[in-house]
Amino acid sequence: MDKELIDSAAGRLLCDLKLTGCRLVDVLGGRIIENACVSIKNGFVVGLNDNHEARESLDLKGKYLAPGLVDAHVHIESSLLTPAEYAKVVLPRGTTTVVADPHEIVNVLGYDGMRFMLSSSEGLPLDIFYMVPSCVPATEFDTSGAALYASDMYPFLHDERVLGLGEVMNYPGVLAKERSLMDKIAFFSSARRPIDGHAPGLSGSALSAYIMAGIGSDHECTNAEEAREKLSKGMYIMLREGSTAKDLKNLLPAVTPQAVSRFMICSDDRHSNDLRDEGHMDHALRLLLAGGIDPVDAFKISSLNASLWFDMREVGAVAPGRKADFIIFTSFDDFKAEKVFKAGRLIAENGRLLQDFATKPMPIRDSVNLKWLSDEDFSIPDKACPVRVIEAKAGSIITGSGQEYPKVENGLCVADTELDLIKIFVIERHSGSGRIGKGFIRGMGLRRGAIGGTISHDSHNMIVAGVDDRSIFKATRHLNKLKGGLVYAVGDEILLDLPLPVAGLMSDRDADFVIERMRSFEELFAKEGISNPSPLMTLSFMALPVIPSLKITVAGLIDVDRFVPVSLYVEEPNKNEH
C-alpha cells in the first residue's frame, strides 16, 4: 500500500489533481451525484466530495464524469493490431481496461504466443489483463500450431495481469469430462480464479452440467430467452457487439433492473476499421442507452460488473482506492467520450490521443509453413450426388447446413455463382503437413476470384474461398509469400493484400496503415458487387468447429450439432437437413 495515498485521503498531503463541478455517475451507489468533486493522487482516487486541496484543479462545468469503460472479453489479435497499436485506437473512445483472451496467437505459437502478448502490452496506458486460453487446440478436429496443457499454465498464474481461464469453447469436452480439459478447469478452480464460458445454444441439463464444472460466464447468447436461462442458472452474461456477431440489441429484453448486476459488455472480435469508424465499448454503451437502459445501469454494465466478475478491484468505479480512469462527456444522448483520463492523466481529448507511446519490439518466429501446392490440389471430384453446403449468414458466426447438387465440369465439382455457391478450403499452415479440408459455401457473395487469409478461428490454418482453382491457388501462394495476411486474387493477379507477419494474425505496421488497407478491401468488395458486408470476417469463422451448425477444418466438414466429422458428399439426400 502506498502510504502517500492514505495521507492524501486523510487530507494530510496535497493531492495531484482535483476535478470539480462534475455530475458523477456513481455506479456503486446507483445514482448521479450533482456538483461532485473527485480528488486524485498518484493515479488513484483518494477523495470523493472530501474537499481536499490539490496542486491542480479542473472545473468540469457540469459535465458528466464516469468510470472508464471495460471490454470484458476480447481477442486483440482480431483487430489485426499489436497491443500497443490497439491501445492507440480504443483509448480515445473511452476504453481504459480490457480483458483479453489471446487464444488466437496461442493456438499458433503456444506458450511463446502468451508471453509475446504479455510482454508487448507491458507498460501501456491501456490496462490489458489476460485470461489463459483453455482450448489450445480448440478441438481434436483441427490442427493448431501448438498445445497448451494445465502444466504449461502454472507460470502464468503468478502474473498479476493474468486473471483466470479463458473461454471454455469445447463444451462437448466438458460434458464428456475430457481429462486434459478438466485438469485445466480444476487448476483454476482450486486457485479460485474466474473461468469464462462459451456455450452457444446450450440449455437444459447440458447447460447445468457445464456450469457445474465451474464455468461462470458466457458471451455467446443470441436471444433474450437463452440469456434468461443462463442468468437463472448463475452465469454472468456478456453482451457482445463485435464486427460479425452483433447480439447486444437482441439481448436487451433480458436486461431488467433486477438482473443488471449480472451483465457486462464485450466486443469479442472487432476489426480495426470498425473500432475507428464505429467505436469500441462506447458503441456498445450507445446501444444500451438507445435501448432504454437506465444510464447509471448502462455504466454499471460497461464498467463495474466486469470488475466484480474478474475481481479487478482497482477499476470499474470512481471511488477511493480505484484507479483514476475516467471519461468526461456532455450528455447520455448520443454518448461521446470528450476527455479520457488514465491513472489521473488526461490521455485523450475529442477522439485524439494526447500522449503517444511506442510499440515495444518483440521477436517472433515465422508461422506460415505450407507444403508445395499446385492448382490441382484444389479440385473436387464429382460423385453424382449432392454435397453438403456451409450456409454463411451475414452478421452471425452461426452457420446453416444445406445440400446442393453442384455444377460439374470435366468430372469435377465447380463453383456456381448463380446459386452463390463457391468452393472453400482450409490448408494446414503450421507444420507443412499438406492436409486440406475441402467444401462448398453459400453466402459469401463472391462473383469472381478468391479471398483468403491466415485468420481462421481458432486453429488459424489458412482458409480460402473462391470461384476458380487458379485464383484459389494464387491466393494461397501469396499468403505463404507474405508469411500471413489477407488477400483477394483474380486469376494470377493480386488485387489487394494486407500482410500480417505477426503469427499470421497481426500487422507489424501502425493502425492507420491497417485501417486504410481494410477500407481499401471494403471499397474493392463493393466495386466487385460482393453482397456479404464483411466477407473476410465471415470467412475467418468458417473453420470454428464449436459454433453450429456446419464448419470446415483441415479434417474436412464438421457437423457441430453432433460434434462429428461428416463427408462432403451426401449419398442419400436428406431434405430435412438445413
Quick: pLDDT tens for 273-305: 899 999 999 999 999 999 999 999 999 999 999
pLDDT at residue 358 is higher than 90: no
CA 482 remoteness from chain centre: 24
pLDDT tens figures, 105-149: 999 999 999 999 999 999 999 999 999 999 888 777 888 888 888
With a pLDDT cut of 90, the percent of the chain lying above it is 84
pLDDT band at 357 (very low <50, low <70, confident <90, very high): confident
Measure the CA–CA gap between 25 and 317, rounded to whole angstroms. 9
pLDDT tens figures, 512-545: 999 999 999 999 999 999 999 889 989 999 999 8
pLDDT at residue 573 is higher than 70: no
With a pLDDT cut of 70, the percent of the chain lying above it is 98
Q: CATH 3.20.20.140 spans which residues of the chain? A: 69-316
Q: What is the pLDDT of residue 80?
A: 95
DSSP state of 315: S
Measure the CA–CA gap between 507 and 83, rounded to whole angstroms. 11
pLDDT tens figures, 441-491: 999 999 999 999 999 988 999 999 999 999 999 999 999 999 999 999 999
Of 51 and 205, the one with more pLDDT? 205
Of 90 and 458, the one with more pLDDT? 90
Residue 4 phi, psi (nearest 5)? -60, -30
Average pLDDT for residues 149-172, to the nearest whole number?
Answer: 92
pLDDT at residue 576 is higher than 60: no
Q: What is the pLDDT of residue 574?
A: 53
Q: What is the pLDDT of residue 1?
A: 65
Q: What is the pTM of this model?
A: 0.90
Of 547 and 512, the one with more pLDDT? 512
**Counting Cβ atoms within 10 Å, is residue 361 exposed (0-12), middle (13-18) or buried (19+)?**
exposed
Measure the CA–CA gap between 436 and 507, rounded to whole angstroms. 26
Give yes or no for a cis peptide into 458 (omega within 30° of 0).
yes
CATH homologous superfamily of 69-316 equals: Metal-dependent hydrolases (3.20.20.140)
Of 157 and 70, the one with more pLDDT? 70
pLDDT band at 572 (very low <50, low <70, confident <90, very high): low
pLDDT at residue 72 is higher than 90: yes
CB neighbours of 467 closer than 8 A, spacing ≥ 6? 415, 417, 422, 423, 446, 447, 448, 449, 450
pLDDT tens figures, 364-389: 888 999 988 888 899 999 999 999 99
